[in-house]
């Protein structure tokens, strides 16, 4: 046997490496898309079967069919659309506040040693605070209006974006920054042409995480005596044991989270096309 052929021979009993990217490469795109929906549809079918046979009492959890009917009725009455709009405004407004603060603090901490010593330690301590524990304090400080809801969402969304952006800035090779300085680039030009491109991949990862946390925090925020929104709708349903409406609210939260995550993933593919 020649040397070339023997080099391709795999010893008996040696496991062959598996390339995960090749597992579905030969599968048609439609087949991959349909395959991803098999398990969710199966779970819904089992849920419906358990409800129809009485294994899962409707007092505990409404069936998928009942949830769909409830969603249709709420949409027809205009309740679902109005509540969704209010909750979306709260989530995106609070996220925008937290995102701006996170990026500014990450730049301050990531670009200067003094900024790191001044900014990073307090934020590392604050990020461990439980959001539920802040609710009573925020009510005392800001009342039960819209302010504590926006602030709580901003507080939750701030830390993932800050941590990822700060880490992205610190991961930039110092030699690249020195080269940019040697080329005569100003501080703002170095930020634009070196720091932003270098930190962008991790910053976008933090952006996705922050949006997810914003929706999770919103559920907590809307428990603070909300007058409207999905949280108000779910609280009213809880009082009357209407599990179908509670599930409708949860599903809407999930869909909104998936939509915003998909938007960021689209931006990520476009902004980081150079990595391909």
CATH number of the domain at 221, please.
1.10.3720.10
Question: What pLDDT does 227 receive?
Answer: 81
Assess if residue 40 is contained within a domain.
Answer: no
Q: What is the pTM of this model?
A: 0.78
- Tell me if 51 is assigned to some domain: no
Q: What is the pLDDT of residue 142?
A: 84
Residue 12 lies in a domain: no
> What's the confidence (pLDDT) of residue 275?
66
Nearest-5° angle of CA 81, CA 86, CA 87? Answer: 100
Q: What is the mean pLDDT of each run of 10 residues along the chain (276 residues)?
A: 42 48 57 73 88 84 90 93 93 94 92 88 89 82 85 93 92 82 81 84 92 89 80 87 90 91 88 71
Residue 57 covered by a domain: no
Structural domain includes residue 156: yes
Domain assignment present for 17: no
Domain holding 121, by residue range, is 64-275
Residue 2 counted as domain residue: no
* pLDDT for the residue numbered 26: 55
Looking at the structure of the chain, the number of domains it has is 1
- Three-state SS string over the chain comes to CCHHHHHCCCCCCCCCCCCHHHCCCCCCHHHHHHHHCHHHHHHHHHHHHHHHCCCCCCCCCCCHHHHHHHHHHHHHHCHHHHHHHHHHHHHHHHHHHHHHHHHHHHHHHHHCHHHHHHHHHHHHHHCCCCHHHHHHHHHHHHCCCCHHHHHHHHHHHHHHHHHHHHHHHHCCCHHHHHHHHHCCCCHHHHHHHHHHHHHHHHHHHHHHHHHHHHHHHHHHHCCCCCCCCHHHHHHHHHHCCCHHHHHHHHHHHHHHHHHHHHHHHHHHHHHCHHHC
Whether residue 170 is contained in a domain is answered as: yes
């Amino acid at each position: 046997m020649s040397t070339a052929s023997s080099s391709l021979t795999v010893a008996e009993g040696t496991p062959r490496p598996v390339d995960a990217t090749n597992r579905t490469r030969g599968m048609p795109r439609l087949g991959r898309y349909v395959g991803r929906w098999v398990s969710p549809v199966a779970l819904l079918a089992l849920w419906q079967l358990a409800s129809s046979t009485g294994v899962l009492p409707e007092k505990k959890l409404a069936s998928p069919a009942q949830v769909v009917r409830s969603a249709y009725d709420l949409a027809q009455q205009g309740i679902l659309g109005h509540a969704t709009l209010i909750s979306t405004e709260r989530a995106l407004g609070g996220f925008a506040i937290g995102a701006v603060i996170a990026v500014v603090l990450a730049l301050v901490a990531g670009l200067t040693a003094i900024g790191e010593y001044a900014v990073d330690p307090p934020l590392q301590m604050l990020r461990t605070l439980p959001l539920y524990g802040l609710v009573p304090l925020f009510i005392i400080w800001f009342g039960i209006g819209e302010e504590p809801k926006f602030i709580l969402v901003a507080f939750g969304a701030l830390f993932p974006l800050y941590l990822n952006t700060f880490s992205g800035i610190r991961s930039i090779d110092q030699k690249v920054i020195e080269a940019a300085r040697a080329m005569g680039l100003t501080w703002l030009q170095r930020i634009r042409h070196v720091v932003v491109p270098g930190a962008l991949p991790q910053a976008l990862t933090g952006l996705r995480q922050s949006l997810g946390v914003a929706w999770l925090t919103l559920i907590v925020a809307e428990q603070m005596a909300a007058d409207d929104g999905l949280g108000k709708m779910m609280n009213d349903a809880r009082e009357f044991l209407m599990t179908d409406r509670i599930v409708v609210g949860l599903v809407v939260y999930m869909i909104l989270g998936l939509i915003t995550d998909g938007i960021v993933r689209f931006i990520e593919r476009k902004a980081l096309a150079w990595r391909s």
